[in-house]
Structure 1
Amino acid sequence: MQERSPETDVIAFRAAEQLLAARDPRGAIKLLDPVIAAHPESRAARLLRARAYFAAAQLRSAEQEFLHIIEREPDNAYAHFALARTYERANRPDRAQRHFRLAAALDPKPEYLRAAKFDSDE
C-alpha cells in the first residue's frame, strides 16, 4: 500500500472534485474517505464529501457531514443551505425551513432568500 502524503491527499481531493462534477459521487466518496481519515478537521474535504453523499442520495450521511461542518463553523451559510436541501429531500420540511432561514440570514443571496420564504407562513 502506498504511503499517504499531503501531495497524494491534494491529488485525491482534486480527483474527487472531478468525479463529483462528472456525476460519480460514490467514486468521490471513496477518494475522500482516506483523505478525511488523515485530516479529520479538513472542512473542504468534509464539505465535498457531504455534497457527494447528497448527490448519491445518502441523505443521513450528508446530514451528518453538514452538521459536523456547522458545529465547527456555525456561520457557514452554504452548509446551512445544503443541510436544508438535505432535509427537504428527506421530507423533513420543518428542519429544512430553519436552515434555509439561517442561510439567508447569514448570506442574503437570492437563492437563499427564495428558499427561506420569509414572506410566507410556511
Structure 2
Amino acid sequence: MEDNMDGAVPSAAEDWERAKLLFDARDYIGAARILGGLVERHPEQNGPRLLLARAYYHSAALRRAESELRVLLERDAGDAYAHLLLGRTLERLGRKGEAAPYLKVAKILGA
C-alpha cells in the first residue's frame, strides 16, 4: 500500500480507480502492483482479481495470470471471459491441448 501525498493510505476504491487508469494507459505492471495489494486485502472480490489476471496476461506474467484465472473459475465456472482468457494464457504458455477445452467452453458461453 502506498500513501497518498497527504500521508493517508488510499482506500480500496482509490486503488481500484488508480489501477484501472494504469491498465487503460497500458502500464500493466503498475496496475498489477496495485491490484495485487487490493486482491490481498479483498480476496473475495472478483473484479480486481480479473483485472489483475488481465494485467498479468498483458505483461507476460502468464503463470500468475493462470493462477488468478483458476481461482475465478473455481468461484464461477460460468464466467465466459475467464475461460477465454485462461485458454489464451495456456496457448501462450505452449499448452494448446490444455487450452482447447477452456476455449471451447468460452465459445459455448458466448465469449
TM-score (norm 2): 0.88
Residues 58-95 of structure 1 show CA distances to partners (whole Å, capped at 9, x for unaligned) of 00000000000000000000000000010111111111
Equivalent of residue 50 in structure 2, options 47, 52, 56 = 47
Q: Which has the larger radius of gyration?
A: 1
Q: CA RMSD in A?
A: 1.3
1:60 partner letter: R
Residue aligned with 1:104, SS: helix
Task: Write the letter of the residue equivalent to 1:76.
Answer: D
Find 1:26's aligned residue among 21, 26, 29. Answer: 29
CA distance in 2, matches of 1:79, 1:33: 18
Q: Deviations along 1:33-60, whole A, 9 cap, x unmatched? A: 2211111111000000000000110000
Aligned to 1:75: 78
Q: Do structure 1's residue 13 and structure 2's residue 16 form an aligned pair?
A: yes
The two structures have a TM-score, normalised by structure 1, of 0.81
Sequence identity (%) = 37
**1:114 alignment counterpart:** none
For residues 100-119 of structure 1, give each alpha carbon's deviation from its aligned partner in whole angstroms, at most 9, with x where no partner exists: 00111122x5xxxxxxxxxx
Please list, as runs of the form range in 1=range in 2, the aligned pairs for 1:94-105 lying within 5 A after superposition: 94-105=97-108
- 1:92 maps to a residue whose letter is R
Amino acid of the structure 2 residue aligned with 1:80: H
What does residue range 109-120 of structure 1 map to in structure 2 within 5 Å? 109=111
How many pairs were matched up? 105
Q: In the TM superposition, what are the counterparts of 1:86-101 in structure 2 within 5 Å?
A: 86-101=89-104
